[in-house]
């Protein structure tokens, strides 16, 4: 997974906290932010780079993490960290396929869905 955001340094810190992710590498840019950073989020590599051009509107990609039975605490923690400044699509709670899920577009413009 690769995301391009304005505020990549803040995004890396937010995702590190939200997903208990390990930061694997960071390559800072002289102009600020990261040319490239990688985090291990639930066993998946999440790459983050500073958006240097205008964002493309209309992206319909959603990043999903299915954390499985017992992952409710991780889903709740991620929601608590990502909801600030986010557009909430589905607030945290039960749905037809999960006892605990949410979906939102975070303040960096990334569309997330986490569930157990």
Per-residue pLDDT reduced to its tens digit, 24-57: 999 999 989 999 999 999 999 999 999 888 766 6
The pLDDT of residue 54 is 75
**Inside any domain, residue 72:** yes
Residues 1 and 46 in one domain: yes
Per-residue pLDDT reduced to its tens digit, 78-112: 999 999 999 999 999 999 999 999 999 999 999 99
The pLDDT of residue 59 is 63
In angstroms, the CA 90 to CA 43 distance is 25
Measured in whole angstroms, the distance separating CA 105 from the mean position of its chain's CA atoms is 9
The pLDDT of residue 10 is 97
Residues 47 and 65 in one domain: no
In angstroms, the CA 24 to CA 65 distance is 19
The parent domain of residue 10 ranges over 1-51
Residues 66 and 47 in one domain: no
User: What is the radius of gyration, based on Cα positions, of the chain?
Assistant: 14
Residues 46 and 65 in one domain: no
Per-residue pLDDT reduced to its tens digit, 49-85: 998 887 666 666 889 999 999 999 999 999 999 999 9
Residues 30 and 69 in one domain: no
Nearest to 79, CA basis, from 113, 48, 43: 113
> Is the CB of residue 12 less than 8 Å from the CB of residue 23?
yes
CATH of the domain at 28: 3.30.720.100
pTM of the model as a whole = 0.87
In angstroms, the CA 68 to CA 92 distance is 15
């Amino acid at each position: 997974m690769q995301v391009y955001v304005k505020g990549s340094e803040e995004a890396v810190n937010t995702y590190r906290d939200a997903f208990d992710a390990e930061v694997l590498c960071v390559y800072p840019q002289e102009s600020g932010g990261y040319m490239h950073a990688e985090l291990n989020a639930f066993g998946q590599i999440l790459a983050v780079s500073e958006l240097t051009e205008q964002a493309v509107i209309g992206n319909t990609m959603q990043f999903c993490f299915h954390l499985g039975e017992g992952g409710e605490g991780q889903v709740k923690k991620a929601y608590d960290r990502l909801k600030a400044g986010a557009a909430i699509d589905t607030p945290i709670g039960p749905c037809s396929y999960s006892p605990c899920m949410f979906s939102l577009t975070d303040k960096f413009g990334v569309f997330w869905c986490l569930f157990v």
